[in-house]
Structure 1
Amino acid sequence: MLASVDTDGRTEGSALYGLSVAGNDLYWSTAGDGGGVWRLPLTGGAPPSRVPHTFGFHLFSYPWVGSPNEYQRTPSGPSPFGVFPPLFGSLLNVQTGEFRTASVPAEVSFWACGLTRCVGNLPPGPGDQRQPAATRLRDGSDERVFPWMSAMNAQIALDRFTILTVSDEDQRLVGAALVDLVTGDAADLGLRQEGGGIAVSALHADTDMYAYELKDKMIIVDLKKIE
């Protein structure tokens, strides 16, 4: 979230997300089910206007818009908590009209997608209560499983990186890792459980510099430099 502004209702008067500059225009999304992507000329002289055909979508990474975002996901299904649709399971390129969907494993508790790849938790296996993290391409191929990690509320940065929490064999939370979903490599962030949980800063689609606090120091990871 970038800011909360009063826009006389032109952008639903709500918080702004995904602020981006492309060409001579400024683009952003607003919260809420209606959402939509809004455009404002950098030169001024015109009020904000909704980009055509983007109602119900939110800015993913321009020119891509997606649905549902974290505020649109409504559970369905017979289980007590329902089954949530994948975060940004649908993507639309507002310049070319290309539309992408995602193949989602059955009965997953959480699934989130990037431009070409998704990440989430698989259902427990027979006699096992763990829900291991896994990644696969949007078409369901190239699956990789991370047995001792969880992807709950994870998102994918640069279509490659995510933050997964790590548990021991007794399913106790012990840490968090920066994971390369393409290679399977993982790096311990050094974060440890405090007060029953681990405070982990979220990644987003266009995150290229990841920063977090560790032992009174600010750690900055330049994701673009990782080969």
Structure 2
Amino acid sequence: MTTELEKSLAAEFEQAARYAPRPVGDLRGRVEDGYRRRRRRGTALYAAAAVVVLTAGGTYAVNGVAPRDPEIAERPVPAVTPTATSAPDKVFPPIEKVWPDAVHSIPATLPNGRAFRPEAFLDDRTILARTLKDGHADKMDGLWAYDIGSRTAKRLVAVTPPPRTTVTASVISAGGGRLAWWTARKVESRPVVDIWTAPASGGAQRKVATFGTVPHYGGIDMEIVGDKAVWSPWGGSGVYEVPLTGGRPKPVPGAMAHYTLLVWPWAGVPRPDALKRSSIVAFSTLVNLETRRRLGRATAPKGAFCAATWCVLDRSAFRRDDGTERPLPGRIDSNGVELDRFVTLLQSADKGRLRGQVLYDLSTGRAGDLGIRPVKVKPRPGSKLKRESVTMPVAVLDYRQQGLFGYESGDSWVVVNLRRIK
């Protein structure tokens, strides 16, 4: 794309983003640099909605775009330039037909009319939901239990972020009868993280720990492991833990200082933002922090993102142990591999025209169409973009969610319980 067109398109993203489903998690590899810059300006970014822009030349690119934020993320997925002879990707049935026991369509608002975002499955019929004050990412005001059968909701926690909060966790953790999340704030220009917890059955929030983190990043990736919170800092390394009853953070036993948490129990190197993504294999080497089992350097091309079994890049998946390649019926647009088996793929129709998006299971080769299609967006009055553009909202699958995949479709949430898929 030309520089002029890119600038013009940026002005249109705010309008196009209203079509986008709000995803569950942020795109770590694509947006953390942008996250830092936006936070310094005080702009809230809860999660990046990926928007595909199709140009007249037939190429498309995926860019992370904050809801109602026209700025393009700094780390777009590489553009695809289809040829005139590009064969269409395989067509798959709707996702609810492929995995009927795991897919749920529910209203996009709670019974009280509040918009919410699904975070995790508390059990097979109950979703942990988050509500935001005025839609602001750093003004989370409640955590709720939403019953997908009766479509009723109960507020579990009245959440109050501390003053001067600059970042709020984009993933709420649940486990062992507890909920946990974190917030970040500035103290004398340095980021300080607070970890919070509350009973999963409901109750008051309570601070677990406060500590400094990597300057200019200001966040962590965290999950509940047993009766502890375990995390790694954004832009840094090391795996740390603290009891949910409170205490002093300390390194996880067996975790090397230069390793970063992938998903428990795996930690590895290099972290996705350590170098230019195209020059590394993210999480090429892993260690299991429970068993101390080590997975040596993955057999995958540079630019790939690896989990314990699979590495993914472009239109291919590779077994990390021997590099066996599996062609994929679409282009990877996931933030990693969730549960070491699920990714999302952008699919093309004839001559490379973008058709839609599917959830793909690497372990079985099955996939379900998400029903998301490209939409035409006309230039707004006074816009620099004079021609009609075509965009497509993209549901974002994030490996840190560990069991839930959700996206908005019309006036509903489509929520997939990935752990129910056999």
Same fold (TM over 0.5): yes
2:343 aligned to 162, 180, 188, which one? 162
CA contact (8 A) 1:157 1:207 kept: yes
Q: Residue 210 of structure 1 corresponds to which residue in structure 2?
A: 405
After TM superposition, the structure 1 = structure 2 runs for residues 106-125 of structure 1, keeping only pairs within 5 Å, are 110-121=303-314
**Please, what is the CA RMSD of the aligned residues?**
2.3
CA contact (8 A) 2:343 2:360 kept: yes
Q: Residue 225 of structure 1 corresponds to which residue in structure 2?
A: 420
1:98 aligned to 293, 299, 318, which one? 293
State the percentage of identical aligned residues: 29
CA contact (8 A) 2:372 2:392 kept: no
Q: Residue 85 of structure 1 corresponds to which residue in structure 2?
A: 280
Matched, 1:49 2:231: no
2:267 aligned to 65, 68, 78, which one? 65
Q: For residues 268 and 373 of structure 2, what CA distance do their matches in structure 1 show? A: 33
Structure ID, larger Rg: 2
Deviation per CA, 1:114-164: give whole Å up to 9, x if none.
11112212xxxxxxxxxxx11121123543212x41114542111111111
Deviation per CA, 1:60-100: give whole Å up to 9, x if none.
1222112233322425xxxxxxx331222221222333221
Q: Residue 222 of structure 2 corresponds to which residue in structure 1?
A: 18
Q: Residue 124 of structure 1 corresponds to which residue in structure 2?
A: none
Pick closer, same or farther for the CA change 1:226–1:96 going to 2, 3 Å. closer
SS at match of 1:72: coil
SS at match of 1:196: strand
Q: Residue 316 of structure 2 corresponds to which residue in structure 1?
A: 134
Q: For residues 249 and 292 of structure 2, what CA distance do their matches in structure 1 show? A: 22
SS at match of 2:419: helix
Pick closer, same or farther for the CA change 1:203–1:95 going to 2, 3 Å. same
Q: Residue 179 of structure 1: CA displacement?
A: 0.3
**Greater helix fraction, Structure 1 or Structure 2:** 2
Q: Which amino acid aligns with 1:115?
A: A
Q: For residues 289 and 421 of structure 2, what CA distance do their matches in structure 1 show? A: 30
In structure 2, list runs of 5 or more residues that go unmatched: 1-169, 172-181, 185-191, 194-209, 376-389
In structure 1, list runs of 5 or more residues that go unmatched: 76-82, 122-132
Q: Residue 202 of structure 1: CA displacement?
A: 2.3
Pick closer, same or farther for the CA change 1:69–1:41 going to 2, 3 Å. same
CA contact (8 A) 1:179 1:186 kept: yes
Q: Which amino acid aligns with 1:136?
A: F
Pick closer, same or farther for the CA change 1:138–1:111 going to 2, 3 Å. same
Q: For this pair of structures, how many residues does the alignment match?
A: 202
Matched, 1:174 2:369: no
CA contact (8 A) 2:300 2:318 kept: no
